[in-house]
Amino acid sequence: MGAPGTLGVSTVASGADYFRTVGATMVMGRDFSNADQLAGQPVAIVNQSFAAHYWPGQDPLGKRLRLFPRNKPDEWRTIVGVASNIMQSSPTRQKFLPLVYVPFRQQPSATAWFLARSRVSSSQVAAAVRTEVQKLDADLTLERFSTLKQSFAFRADRMDPEHVEMGKHAAVAPIFAAIALVLAVVGLYGVMAHSVSQRTKEIGVRVAVGAASKDIRRLIFREGMVPVALGLILGLTVSLAVNRILQSQLVGVSPYDPVTLATSPVVLIVVALLACQIPSRRALRVDPAVVLRHD
| Total count of domains within the chain | 3
pLDDT for residue 237 is more than 90: no
- The last residue of one of the domains, among 96, 125, 153, is 153
At 63 the pLDDT is 92
pTM score = 0.52
In a domain, 2, yes or no: no
At 3 the pLDDT is 45
Least Cα distance to 9 among 133, 129, 102 occurs for: 102
In a domain, 206, yes or no: yes
92 and 144 inside one domain: no
The pLDDT tens digits of the residues spanning 204-227 come to 778 777 878 888 888 888 888 888
Question: Are the beta carbons of 66 and 19 closer than 8 angstroms?
Answer: no
pLDDT for residue 154 is more than 60: no
Name the more confident of 135 and 247.
Answer: 135
In a domain, 168, yes or no: yes
At 1 the pLDDT is 39
> Could you give the 3-state DSSP secondary structure of residue 184?
helix
Mean pLDDT of the chain: 78
Strands 43-47 and 10-14: unpaired
Q: What is the mean pLDDT of residues 60-76?
A: 78
Q: What is the mean pLDDT of residues 162-168?
A: 58
- The last residue of one of the domains, among 55, 88, 113, is 113
User: What amino acid is encoded at 48 in this protein?
Assistant: Q
277 and 176 inside one domain: yes
Q: How far is CA 25 from the centre of its chain?
A: 18
Strands 10-14 and 64-66: unpaired
Domain housing 126: 116-153
pLDDT for residue 151 is more than 70: no
Least Cα distance to 52 among 9, 21, 18, 93 occurs for: 9
104 and 220 inside one domain: no
In a domain, 57, yes or no: yes
At 2 the pLDDT is 42
d(CA 11, CA 33): 18
144 and 227 inside one domain: no
